[in-house]
Amino acid sequence: MASTTNLRSRRSAAELHALAGVSREIRAVDAHSRRKYLREFNQAFRSYDCLLDLSQVSEAVHSADIVLIGDYHALPAAQRYAASLVEQRALAGDRPVVLGVETIFARDQHILDEWWRREIDEAELRQRIRFDLDWGYEWPPFHEVLVAARDHAEALYGLDCMPREDLRKIGARDRHAAAKIAEIHARHPQAVIFVLFGESHLAPRHLPRAVRELIPDAKVLTVLQNIDALYWRAAGERADKVEAVRVSEEVLCVFNSTPLEKYESYRLFLDQWSRCDKDLDFAPTIYNLIDSLANFLEINRYSPHNSTQPRFLVDLLPEVHGTASEASLRRALLNRGMKEEEFEALVATIESRGSAYIPQVNAFCVRNLQMMHTAEDVARFLHHACQGLPHFVLQSSNAEAAGADQANRNAMDEFYIRVIENAVAYFGSRVLYPSRPACDEQGLGMLSRAACTKAARSAARAGQEELQSAAQHWGYRIGSDIYDAYLSGKVTPRGLRRLFLAHLEEPGMARKVCATAISKLRSLSRPLVRAANA
């Protein structure tokens, strides 16, 4: 069994490489990270007492009088988690719930009250509180917080005051917010007060201390989200996924996103603000993830030969389309033979997953950053690039040739090709996004070549949709087992690179690669099974 240090290193290697790239960009633009106030926050939470599951988090929240929720403003998951906490606590029914938010100035309480009474609509609220001008982050997730409060809480309050941009006055803002929370407590003495405030304000000596000084009898709980140091430390735990940790009796931290998600989200906003442009530029995010996965697999991006390395990976990087260029992507795909209904299905996939890699034109289409799916798409691209991407692109540029090639391909080969593609895609997504849940293999039995062959024969007789579904199922299973073998030190990144580079277009090759992978995984799992039964 891998040690805690080894587990932490293997889980985090590619993610840390990706994070280093985006951190350099942020530091170049945002000098605030070096301020004393922010250093105090970063130094406050370096270790934890124990792991928690979500039921234990709920118990802690249920017993508190005031819950201070840390908000990373650029991360929608942070606001959505806050909305879920408010709703869950209100549904318990034993105490009323009140919410206070940093996003809205206390001076604008009358506007918030008008919206609360449904005298103005969402658009007018957004405009009058100057959300886009004074705040500038995503509206929909914050609006979800407000709606959760209006649907489930007794009252909703703005807590902040000016100036927001001057960190020399940030202590005064903490004291102002604490005074407002004390007023709310006096106005709603029986209520549980939830407060959604920027995470840096929640260092013990910042807002929490100011609240305790004014309301000494209240039980105050700080709920942090996705704190970097705690996340990296938890990466060494045996648990496949750590949901939360207890930092102290008064502080806990939940994990609903990764540091990479946090900082990529922030980088996107910094880029958008600097360009005064409403359309986010996702290309740096995609290229950073590709670079990190290639680095993990020890791929030389400048290799002139296509053997143990893909030839000039730097020249194969995909085009990245955002919402503004979706029309040109549609035109390119239809020109290459894609049917209208196929394009609509692709759009539906992008809508649900946030992104998709489209090998026909070697392009990404990204509407929003859902890191788990984006990481999987990046691994799919790298697999295609390792196969010799010009082969895929040039064949698909002629619709008739591409159709004939697809029609002539043996269905069994097609199944195994898709299995391998899904296996490396799932594995790559876990490398870049270790928080992705493991495949649920309960009741599926031991992975075996015979069972995979049976599935291949059944899929080959079925339609294309059934074949793709079965191939994804088997690919994810194999990819999950490969990731477990990697974590335990049984396979190395260099060995895994060969799986990306195997030329699957040769008849029978994909089946052979799949059989070899399953046999290897079975042989690696036997010592673990014997140890468990000893």
**One pLDDT digit (tens) per residue for the chain, 534 residues:** 567 888 888 888 888 888 887 877 776 665 555 578 888 898 999 999 999 999 999 999 999 999 999 999 999 999 999 999 999 999 999 999 999 999 999 989 999 999 999 999 999 999 989 898 889 899 999 999 999 999 999 999 999 988 887 777 888 999 999 999 999 999 999 999 999 999 999 999 999 999 999 999 999 999 999 999 999 999 989 888 899 999 999 999 999 999 899 988 888 888 777 665 566 778 888 989 999 999 999 998 888 877 788 888 887 888 888 876 677 778 878 888 888 888 888 989 999 999 999 988 888 999 888 999 999 999 999 999 988 774 443 344 344 444 444 444 588 888 999 999 999 999 999 999 998 888 876 545 568 888 888 888 888 888 888 888 889 999 999 999 999 999 988 988 888 898 998 888 888 888 999 999 998 888 887 554 444 344
Domain boundaries, the chain: 4-268, 279-408
Close Cβ partners of 215 (under 8 Å, ≥ 6 residues apart): 66, 181, 182, 185
Residue 253's closest CA among 287, 230, 269, 237?
230
Total-model pTM = 0.75
- What is the C-alpha radius of gyration for the chain, rounded to an integer number of angstroms? 26
CA angle 87, 83, 204 (to 5 degrees): 110
Q: Which CATH class is domain 4-268?
A: alpha beta
DSSP string, 310-338: -TTGGG-PPEEE-GGGHHHHHHHHHHTT-
Which residue is it, tokens 């959604």? 196
φ and ψ at residue 70, rounded to 5 degrees: -75, 130
CA nearest to 250, candidates 38, 36, 73, 48: 48
Q: List the structure tokens of 50.
A: 């124990």
Q: Which helix (H) or strand (E) holds 285?
A: helix 283-296
> With contact defined as beta carbons under 8 Å apart, do 87 and 152 qualify?
yes
Centroid of chain to Cα 190 = 37
Distance CA 29, CA 384 (A): 34
